[in-house]
Amino acid sequence: MSTDIYPLFLDEPTDVDLLSFDAVAGTVVDALLDPRLDPIALGLSGSWGSGKTSVLRIIAKQLKPKPGEPVSCLIIETDPWRYDPQLGIKESLIGEILSAIEEALPEEGVGAQSKALVKRLLKRIDWTKAMKLAAQSAVTVSLPSLDSVLSLVKPKEGGDENGPEPITDMVQFRAEFRALLESEGMETIKNVVVLVDDLDRCLPETVVETLETIRLFLSVPKMSFVIAADEERVADAIATRYPAAPEAKPGEETPAQLYLHKIVQTSVPVPALSDFDTEAYLVLLQIRALVEPAEYAQIVSDVSVARRGAIALETVASLQKDEFLEQRNNAARIRPIVHEKTKGNPRRIKRFLNDLSVRLSIAARRGITLDAATIAKLMVLEQYFPDEFKEVTGWLREQTLRQNLAALEAQAGTPQADDEAEQPEPTDDAETEEDGGAAVEAGAGSEASKPRFGDGLIRWARLSPPLAKKDIAPYLVFAASFKSVFLASEGLPESIRDIATQILSRSVGEARRVTEDMLRNLQSSEADKLIHHIGGVIADEPQKQSAGIVAILRIVRVQPSSVATAIAALKRLRPADLKVGGFIQLRADDPEPIVEQMTQMANVSGRKELIEAVAAAKEGI
């Protein structure tokens, strides 16, 4: 099976702007290029997964010169989360910036002179790394002393002017760095823009040291910083070093917030996705594998135009191709709940689609033939309504799944559902509440007797497609296994649980391990409970119907007193669900009420193969 059928979406930033983040990026770029704001440090604030890294990539793309234009803006992308703490946070950030500047400088002329300044500063950074490593070594391997270690690498007097200098001269770093940016070799570079990502993922010490480096060493003309992070998380990290005073008044800025705002002049928020954005994102992700890159880029552009013009997604002409119908419908169905439950977070939306792809793929390999829309609706229940998911799987365990789904959809007014839920047939006295039978009062149509469902279930049920007439039990069993939900019938006595499992097995050989003597030796009450259990299983799980009818016939042949219970179990089956596999096992010598019931069921279905199977059984063919 091709993996393209159910694609997975990488949790990676993208250069393709699916969400019109160019508006946010353009605002940041305008500030970076404004000479009145030089130097500047901007925040790009948003929760994890909101798309901050994608915005950084768009910023970098907008700052890059067009083909044929000279480079006037040096873009440096850095990620403090990946720094090696042993080498020092300050040193890593400064070293990364200096290395990028050195690489951008021309090899000869004024560029060579500026390169000499860079090398001088780089050697100074190498010194700080050497000091940190030496200090750690002195502790971990018990070297004689830190001074002794440093003396081994201390620069000798009289060295060349470009040689490394003592650490104590680091106070001059900022002045030398400024001189570098003002040197002739850097004359064509008007802006050095450092894009800092993932700062909110770092340990508090890394957060503080990165910000201190920006403030103390690198805040000089031509330098600009964009710090993509969840501002609250960064403030929390700073608070570990600068905690709030106990007497602080509610609403006052904390020391951590004051510290952050001193460094970051303002923050540009990455907005959560709107309803339109969520639906568009769901569609665009799903159709990406269906079209060529050029066509996809045009669709993305068309959606962006619709977004800016406040035009409905269904009016975007390039999305109206028939091959996108399933993806459009799926997105429209689940969008309201997915938007709310993910809080418009692109990463969470992508995660939902990935989970859906995994379920679709595994379900297909397990022979579960439900369509993608049905599985998507069940995924919404599982992911966003966990308590209601347990309730629905409980119906399966209690053998009331389809009955309750029909009543739920009738109460919810589910699109395309019947106006009224199908009511179960009245049961015989043999099927009592004590045996687990459905408790349907004589006045089932009265308001007091209608099942009442919680708001969450009703909201979920209103999603299309309706499920009451679909065989969703195999998927529920499969999905419940992911949640460690146990679906074995707790109402079935232990003495017959193994018999129930074996007699309903897909394997004929396994079912035949339940011998006629074993069935004959059951007590009448056990036989009734076994038949009632089988009736509930095959009503909720039509794929087990043929094995179930065969099992019921086998039991009543040796337990005549259970005929009434068997008829009640057969009455629970919907005519549309009937399968010929069980009917061809009917025999002319089976109990007459059973033959009459199955004859009536075949006639009501109107299906020729069922009617002929019953007729052949009566003739002993």
547-559 tens-digit pLDDT: 999 999 999 999 9
Give the pLDDT band (50/70/90) at residue 428: very low
Q: What is the DSSP letter of 493?
A: -
Cα R_g (the chain), whole angstroms: 36
Alpha helices per DSSP H over 105-222: 110-140, 146-153, 173-181, 204-216
pLDDT, tens only, 178-211: 899 999 889 889 999 999 999 999 999 999 989 9
How far is 550 from 364, CA to CA, in rounded Å? 27
CB-based contact 124:169 (threshold 8 Å): yes
Residue 220: closest CA among 199, 197, 191: 191
Mean pLDDT of the chain: 82
Kindly report, residue by residue over 78-96, the tens digit of the pLDDT: 999 888 777 778 888 888 9
**pLDDT at position 195, please?**
96
All domains of the chain, ordered by start, with CATH? 25-154+164-269 (3.40.50.300), 273-363 (no CATH), 366-487 (no CATH), 488-618 (1.25.40)
Helix (H, G, I), strand (E, B) or coil at 341: helix
Answer yes or no: is pLDDT of 507 > 50.
yes
pLDDT for position 362: 84
pLDDT given at position 473: 86
Q: What are the CA-CA distances from residue 431 to residues 251, 530, 572 (Å)?
A: 65, 12, 12
- Weakest-pLDDT range from 127-141, 161-175, 506-520: 127-141
Match 């299983």 to its residue by tokens: 537
Provide the pLDDT confidence category of residue 156 given band limits of 50, 70 and 90: very low
Q: What is the pLDDT of residue 562?
A: 93
Q: Specify which of 109-118, 350-359, 552-561 reaches the highest per-range mean pLDDT.
A: 552-561
Q: How far apart are CA 377 and CA 379, in angstroms?
A: 5
- Look at residue 161 in the predicted model and tell me its pLDDT: 52
pLDDT at 117: 87
The answer to whether the CB of 619 falls within 8 A of the CB of 592 is: no
Q: What is the arrangement of strands in the sheet containing 73-78, beginning at the earlier edge strand?
A: 73-78, 191-196, 223-229, 40-45, 266-269
Dump pLDDT digits (tens) for 323-347: 999 899 989 989 999 999 999 999 9
Each residue of 254-304: pLDDT tens digit? 888 888 988 898 999 999 999 999 999 999 999 988 999 999 999 999 999
> Phi and psi of 195, rounded to 5°?
-100, 110
Please answer whether residues 197 and 56 qualify as being in contact, where contact means their C-beta atoms are separated by less than 8 angstroms.
Answer: yes
Strand partners, 267: 43
Confidence of residue 166 (pLDDT cuts 50, 70, 90): very low
Q: Is the per-residue pLDDT at 431 higher than 60?
A: no
Stretch 371-387: mean pLDDT, rounded? Answer: 90
Start-to-end CA distance of the chain, whole Å, equals: 43
| pLDDT at residue 78 in the model | 94
Task: Grade residue 141 by pLDDT with cuts at 50, 70 and 90.
Answer: very low
Residue 571 has pLDDT above 80, yes or no: yes
CB contact at 8 A, 528 and 435: yes
Structure confidence at residue 138 as a pLDDT band (50, 70, 90): very low
The contacts of residue 165 (CB under 8 Å, 6+ apart) are 123, 124, 127, 155
What's the CA gap between 182 and 174, in Å, rounded?
12
Contact present, 32 and 191 (Cβ < 8 Å): yes
In angstroms, the CA 43 to CA 227 distance is 5
Those residues with Cβ within 8 angstroms of residue 565's Cβ, 6 or more apart along the chain or in another chain: 428, 430, 431, 527, 528, 531, 532
pLDDT at residue 14 is higher than 90: no
pLDDT of 499 strictly over 60:
yes
- Taking residues 450-454, what's their average pLDDT? 79
DSSP 425: P
Burial class (CB in 10 A: 0-12, 13-18, 19+), 77: middle
Percent of residues in the chain assigned helix, strand, coil, to nearest 5 = 60, 5, 35
Global pTM reads 0.69
| pLDDT, position 218 | 77
| pLDDT band per the 50, 70, 90 thresholds, residue 24 | very high
Instruction: State yes or no: pLDDT of 158 exceeds 80.
Output: no
Mean pLDDT in residue range 127-155: 47
Q: CA 421 to CA 147: how far, in whole Å?
A: 86
In the predicted structure, residue 354 carries a pLDDT above the cut 50:
yes
Nearest to 28 by CA among 72, 79, 75, 82: 75
Average pLDDT estimate for 366-384: 87
Portion of the chain with pLDDT greater than 90, in percent: 37
- Report residue 229 CA to chain centroid gap: 21
**What is the tens place of the pLDDT at every residue in 32-69?**
999 998 899 999 999 988 999 999 999 999 999 888 88
- Say how far apart CA 334 and CA 384 lie, in whole Å: 11
* φ/ψ (deg, to 5) at 76: -125, 120
Residue 234 and residue 251: Cα distance in Å, rounded?
18
* 84: CB partners within 8 A, 6+ apart: 92
- Max alpha carbon distance in the chain (Å)? 117
Residue whose pair of structure tokens reads 């994608």 in the numeric block: 54
Question: According to the model, what pLDDT value does residue 487 have?
Answer: 53
* Angstrom distance (rounded) from CA 89 to CA 261: 21
> Is residue 491 predicted with pLDDT exceeding 50?
yes
pLDDT of residue 370: 82
CA distances from 409 to 94, 404, 453, 457 (A): 63, 9, 10, 10
Angle, helices 275-287/346-365, rounded to nearest 10 degrees: 40
Residue 86, burial from CB neighbour count under 10 angstroms (0-12, 13-18, 19+): exposed
